[in-house]
Structure 1
Amino acid sequence: MEETQITPGKLLGISGSYWQACTLHASVKLDIFTVLGKTKVSVEEAAKKIGCDTIALDKLLNALTAMGLITKSGSNFSNTSGSYEYLSTQSPKYIGYMIKHHHHLVEGFSKLDTSVMTGKPVRGRASFTDEVQRESF
């Protein structure tokens, strides 16, 4: 078996990949892709529908644009066909519940070193948590 080449770039890419996952998780939790729907929406319109801070949402929407999950035309944002298909609750192919489940796993994985040191779990069983977590399980 051939040894995989390890480079600083590869290691830093792995280490920093969490920001994309966290950006996607936050966007699904805020239901951004459903808010955008099949239209072009301004950040002000989206912030009003979501009930959040306009400046912070603008930063999140620009991050989603950089990730290729939405597009920006002037001051309006819109879904790509794939983001609408899989990330809007209006689509029968919605996979947001699985992404929300992944979000709930992040806290436990961020404490993996503690679990390895103690040999014990760092969080309680998911079946004993709140209704939102159970729904996305």
Structure 2
Amino acid sequence: MNTHQPTPDRIMHLANGYWATGILGAAAGHSLFTHLEAGADTADELATRAGISVRGAQTLLDGLVGLGLVEMHDGRYRNTAEATTYLVEGKPTSLSEFATLKMTHMGALVDLPEVVRTGGPVRNAAVEVADNPHWEKVVTAIAAQSTPVTAIVAELLGLADAGEVSILDLGGGSGIFSATWLGLNPAARATQLDWAPINAIARRLVAERGVADRFTCIDGDFHRVEVETAAYDVVVYSHVAHQEGPEDNTTLFAKVRGALRPGGTLVVCDYVVDDDRSGPSFPLIFAAEMLLKSKRGGTWRRADYQAWLAKAGFEDVTFHSTRSPTTVVLAR
């Protein structure tokens, strides 16, 4: 006999999940985690520093304690280690801007039942156009997610000591891979192929890192722009595959294969699903975002990547976890 009777607690949390998005977004928007880190440890002090009401500060603190992002000790509040690492402004891994951004996306979810019925966006919600203002905010907000991954891949490839390597980043967005790797290797050079408005964002980040002299941009749609043959030691394809359908991914992998020098490596970073679709949790849930916003995208299985890469001519494919939702795929 099963003595563990189900309770509605988890379903209540899930059904009201927008509360968590709102609490986190509002706290990040008012810099509460940054103020907590600086020593403001009561509702009154946080309200003063953030310029919000005491009632509002207390409500956010209660919510953040409930979410496990803030702890109380002897009547005073402090960030958890998780919040200190990922929600304090100014840190390279800070997701505070991303948390604020996601709060503005909640309204789009009302379309999901109809999107599920039709199999794609129903309000011209697809984002795959160069002049979509969506990119300006999203590209900068998600850069912090890739910061730890850039370091992991650099170590896997030994990039710091690789000498005069040439890097191509397809759909490179913020330019975080180029900025990080050029900083690690003073002999490396990087090129980013992306839409002009996005390349402008990347140029700013790379310039801030002091490595702009070894960074070049090619403006255009990476589906259509030709790339030089056998010109690159490393090609990056980070968080692009989930926006593409199987045919486009296969075509792009073949294009990359031709752009790589002998012995070169394709680096794919994305949310990868187990072959039996039993996990991991984040990639499985993220698929709904792609259904809502893209025409053909999704979160793809390891077997999908292996099949596409083999068809494109890659023989050595390995998968590497990053202690984050992102999986790194190396193909040679």
Distance 1:106 1:122 in 2: 17
- The percent of aligned pairs where both chains have the same amino acid is 18
> How many angstroms does 1:34 deviate by?
0.6
Is 1:100 the counterpart of 2:100? The answer is: yes
Structure 1 gap segments, 5+ residues each: 1-6
SS of 2:77's equivalent in the other structure is strand
| TM-score, normalization by structure 1 | 0.72
Where in structure 2 are the equivalents of 1:1-137 lying within 5 Å?
A: 9=8, 11-37=11-37, 39=39, 41-112=41-112, 120-121=122-123, 127-128=132-133, 136=141
Q: How many residues end up aligned between the 2 structures?
A: 131
| TM-score, normalization by structure 2 | 0.34
Q: Which amino acid aligns with 1:88?
A: V
**Does the 8 Å contact 2:25/2:101 carry over to 1?**
no
Distance 1:15 1:122 in 2: 27
Distance 1:80 1:13, change over 3 A: closer
By relative contact order (CA 8 Å, sep 6+), the higher-ranking structure is 1
**Does the 8 Å contact 2:33/2:88 carry over to 1?**
yes
Distance 1:62 1:90 in 2: 25
Q: Which amino acid aligns with 1:106?
A: M
**Does the 8 Å contact 1:43/1:75 carry over to 2?**
no
Distance 2:53 2:11 in 1: 34
Task: Please give the per-residue CA displacement for 1:59-95, whole angstroms capped at 9, x wherever unaligned.
Answer: 2101111221011123421111110110001322111
Distance 1:122 1:48, change over 3 A: farther
Structure index of larger Rg: 2
Distance 2:12 2:124 in 1: 26
Give the number of the structure whose residues are more often strand, by fraction.
2
Q: Which amino acid aligns with 2:14?
A: I
